[in-house]
Amino acid sequence: MPVTFKTPVEIEKMRTAGRLAAEVLEMIEPHVVPGVTTDELDRRCHQYIVEHQQAVPAPLNYHGFPKSICTSINHVICHGIPNEKRLKEGDVVNVDITVIKDGFHGDTSMMFQVGNTSIKAQRLMATAYECLRLGIALVRPGARLGDIGWAIAQHAEARHYSVVREYCGHGIGRVFHEDPQVLHYGQPGTGYVLQAGMTFTIEPMINAGKRHVRLLPDGWTVVTKDHSLSAQWEHTVLVTAEGHEVLTARGNEDFKLPVEEFRYQAS
């Protein structure tokens, strides 16, 4: 899949898809509570996307994925499949939403806390969010993907966390996963040079323990090999002449704040 540069008309469609994906996360938030099943969350999101947004949930049947969203709980890194199990107090869960509207994709995910969670889990989630914010802050024409990956990894590793290497961010547009690959580690001054009109995701997966992954026999669910907690946040970003625009920003996120100044809010 080549890198694609979006025209002004295509950028407007990416804005719409991104906004819809963000709105699904805002809609589902009050439903992520102890006792709810991830199947129920999946059904709600599916119905909202199809009926209210008149859009398409991209994961459903994507390479055979059986559901409309991904729900990744605790030591699950990504691509968790919604099922009949109930969320319990203290769980942390990533909900990953991708919608297709008018032919274009918007892809975003965030962590939710189920009731009260441990300080350990909260610190991990906060750091993963900071990693995403640091990466986004570097996006501008002329920046290199190695700069972004390096910034993310050094922030996580300074806190003695590890960065998952087997899965990465990606170009996105008419195609769900296109070039470039956006690694969450790397060397400054290396890698693809960003240009205005590119759209891609940044979606760091940060583990409390070691970085190694294991794929479960269902062929989708990716877990930490050492069963340590993992956290992930994802946005779809547009490279603009001036810097960047976060296409999947939620209403309560302020990307104008300098990265050093913002504080992660628990909910």
Tracing tokens 């859009």 back to the chain, one arrives at: 55
Residue 180 interacts with ligand MF3 (CB under 6 A): yes or no: no
Distance between CA atoms of 78 and 220, rounded to whole angstroms?
8
Q: Which is nearer to ligand MF3, 35 or 42 (CB)?
A: 42
Sign of the torsion formed by the C-alpha atoms of 57, 61, 62 and 67: positive
Q: Which is nearer to Co ion, 146 or 204 (CB)?
A: 204
Report H helices in 138-207.
Answer: 145-158
| Single residue of 17, 28, 70, 231 touching ligand MF3 by CB under 6 A | 70
Q: Which is nearer to ligand MF3, 234 or 245 (CB)?
A: 234
Q: What are phi and psi of 129, to 5 degrees?
A: -65, -40
Please, are residues 69 and 45 in contact by the beta-carbon 8 Å criterion? Answer: yes
Residue 65 interacts with ligand MF3 (CB under 6 A): yes or no: yes
Q: Which of residues 208-247 bind ligand MF3 (CB under 6 A)?
A: 220, 234
Residue 133 interacts with ligand MF3 (CB under 6 A): yes or no: no
Shortest distance, CB of residue 48 to ligand MF3, whole angstroms? Answer: 17
Query: What number of other Cβ atoms are within 10 A of residue 201's Cβ?
Result: 25
Q: Which is nearer to Co ion, 159 or 175 (CB)?
A: 175
Sign of the torsion formed by the C-alpha atoms of 240, 242, 244 and 246: negative
Shortest distance, CB of residue 241 to ligand MF3, whole angstroms? Answer: 26
Beta bridge partners of 182: 169
From the list 58-66, 82-90, 137-145, 237-245, the region that binds ligand MF3 by CB under 6 A is 58-66
Q: Which is nearer to ligand MF3, 66 or 188 (CB)?
A: 66
Query: What number of other Cβ atoms are within 10 A of residue 131's Cβ?
Result: 28
Residue 59 interacts with ligand MF3 (CB under 6 A): yes or no: yes
Distance between CA atoms of 6 and 30, rounded to whole angstroms?
35
**Which residues sit at the interface with ligand MF3, rule CB under 6 A?**
59, 62-63, 65, 70, 79, 96, 98, 107, 201, 203, 220, 234
